[in-house]
Structure 1
């Protein structure tokens, strides 16, 4: 198979390119710029474009498939040439389905917890020597790539992202996977640039549940009112499996699962992760694992990259990094750290970085999301607001939206670093939350400096 990627440098795109290369496909690709880690990883496998730019003259009729990345525009010269030549054009989720349509597909959807739940399932299956294909939205310890596609695996596990598939395919990605086993973690409005109303956003999850294959299963968090409304319209022939948080207790800053066969200590923590764990438990049971196999494996699961990831720690301070950016994620992550370390203060620092988070009308959704933090810092870059072509927002608007008297707002990341450097971190944790990097801050270096001076 000869496959060409338009906008090969994206996170999902370059991982899919590597996965197909490892499967034996002939891979070519193009992009206007590629940054690390994509650049180094493509180079390692010999599929990094030799020069940046778009080269429609290189497209020929012997290409079996074009995979179009979300980063490309609808007037991309290579896309126009591919259409002119009549080549088959796929979005990356569409092509992943093509590669796995004869397998049992497990798809994990929801506004939050997708990556962690998918990672838990992958970890447990691998620990029990079960072969499977996968696609996940973060780097997972023990897995070289974020995508694997093989000939032999009978199971395929996908993180079901609700964002759009490609510039010419405006369907949410998770509508294209047609799951045999589906999971929904919860629904909280996100991606308001493409889903302008909450009702429109919820509708995408309802459509997702209607895509479950005949004799399939829907595993769902039964504490979510929006999922409860969706499952009122049950699809005939589908098994519905509710779940909630796994019973646990916190002893000496460690979360302990309470099971019928005794206590199981965990490396992860937080109410939301105990919900994710229970969802993963049901998926693994459907995949044929026993309770004992699941609990033996899950206790050494350390989490996905940037999901309550420990950057540095000493005896009295731990610095965490988390991808949290939406209100529900922000609230859950802040609460998790505060409730896990009841004997420590918490400084929570977040960056407004996404389209939704920087939109003036959406800011009120952040009300009291960091209220449990002893000190809360909110940062945004006005240039990012301008780049996204949004109406300007002020520090005062942001402070009012978050509420409480524990919030300080900055528009200069140097001032964020200065503020943090002046804090006393004895018996104090730091939580850094963003889908970006605070305008170029090396968060690992910052974490090391903080714990080394404590």
Structure 2
């Protein structure tokens, strides 16, 4: 507990990381208040339990008082937010959350995990292993992890902080990537695949943010990077004075009877996670942990108990013939890697993959061709999107034919209502078949746990395995590849 507690106000306190940062500061002994124009569970319940849920929803400039030590501004808040304008008028120090996290960790060893994909999983692995050995550390991660109450921890005594470094913009006042504010001593680059089309309209702009992160590395720092990613390889192999380069690829592994095993000099190590991309993730995490005095033997012991971060290839349920997984995948590279992982786990089973177009990028007609062939590892594929979401985002309508052409599969089923998707799943024969649900949303408000129960309760009949349908790339997809 701080002897002289700071008084901090959050503008847009309901965000996933923002409310966790608010809870972390309250736990540290700070006086915390907040506002937002919408707060949903789990943030609502967690803030209420901590006694810091705003009494009223909406902005209230009377909360900006002279005794505030800091205002933390979320990306959700606009430049004309009345609370922000009042804080500026009063001359109160305003931080974006990454700026504030840096202020809280200036004296710590800072490790940042960056990349278009895998950063949550890699950060989660590092946290899991450090906790397994009772290390003292602070952290910021983008998902709930088993064994951790909060997604953010900030203390006065921890010597190290592990940060998931998001490349998205920081706030309405700081239109720079969040990870550029952390100034890491060790940075991991998991891969670069164009994302956040709304704020990085050009691929070059997106890549530039990662280049800036790499160029900002201090002497005696270290860059850990996926050497199989061409763009990362180009950025990270560049010579930088006194900065160590630590490349990695997928850790050697095999899959047997639905279980993945690491192949090591001392034998096979069973895992609870699967997929080639996760073998890369854990290998990258291992490289970072070696810099923190975690030996190979220590790593292999601890990794066996890691079950993954929430919504990252998370098993929702299973029975004798079917397994159902969900994943946060939304960018094309994530969709491809997750679908391949789902098929690789049990190749003899039919894989039905359902993907929701939910983000601004995924719903943008100019960006859609990036999804060419990304669902090809699935035996059957379905794409869901909500016309209402397009209306809210003020984007032009998309047709089923446009989606099929973009993905390069004429056999894709396209749905716009959750009931249509549920009926499709009810009509499938789930004998020796698995289901993969990929979305950063909820498939139009579907309760995925109830959906899982419904599928697992359906009767099944032994079936002849049909030959997989031809999945030829569309003309549009091929044209895009040539342009790239």
How many Å separate the matches in 1 of 2:37 and 2:410? 45
Q: Deviations over 1:353-411 (max 9, x none)?
A: 00000000111111111112111000111111121122221111011111124311111
Report if the CA contact (8 A) 1:172-1:204 is conserved.
yes
Report if the CA contact (8 A) 2:336-2:375 is conserved.
yes
Report if the CA contact (8 A) 2:111-2:187 is conserved.
yes
Q: State the partner residue of 1:2.
A: 7
More deviation, 212-221/158-167: 212-221
1:267 corresponds to 2:272 = yes
How many Å separate the matches in 2 of 1:146 and 1:58? 26
How many Å separate the matches in 2 of 1:218 and 1:18? 31
Q: State the partner residue of 2:382.
A: 377
Q: State the partner residue of 2:342.
A: 337
More deviation, 82-91/402-411: 402-411
Moved over 4 A (4+): none
Q: Which runs of 5+ in 2 are unaligned?
A: 1-5, 460-484
Report if the CA contact (8 A) 1:9-1:34 is conserved.
yes
More deviation, 209-218/344-353: 209-218
2:241 counterpart SS class: coil
Q: State the partner residue of 2:475.
A: none
Q: 1:113 aligns with which of 112, 118, 136?
A: 118
Q: State the partner residue of 2:398.
A: 393
Q: State the partner residue of 1:144.
A: 149
Q: State the partner residue of 2:140.
A: 135
Report if the CA contact (8 A) 2:72-2:94 is conserved.
yes
How many Å separate the matches in 1 of 2:279 and 2:63? 50
Q: State the partner residue of 2:99.
A: 94
Structure 1 length as normaliser, TM-score?
Answer: 0.99
1:347 corresponds to 2:352 = yes
CA RMSD of aligned residues (A): 0.9
1:419 corresponds to 2:390 = no
1:122 corresponds to 2:115 = no
Q: Which runs of 5+ in 1 are unaligned?
A: none
Q: State the partner residue of 2:449.
A: 444
Q: 1:37 aligns with which of 39, 42, 64?
A: 42
Displacement of 1:343 in angstroms is: 1.5
Report if the CA contact (8 A) 2:237-2:245 is conserved.
no
Q: State the partner residue of 1:210.
A: 215
Displacement of 1:232 in angstroms is: 4.3
2:274 counterpart SS class: coil
Matched ranges for 1:16-31 at <5 A: 16-31=21-36
Q: State the partner residue of 2:247.
A: 242
Report if the CA contact (8 A) 2:225-2:236 is conserved.
no
Q: 2:75 aligns with which of 70, 73, 79?
A: 70
How many Å separate the matches in 2 of 1:123 and 1:58? 38
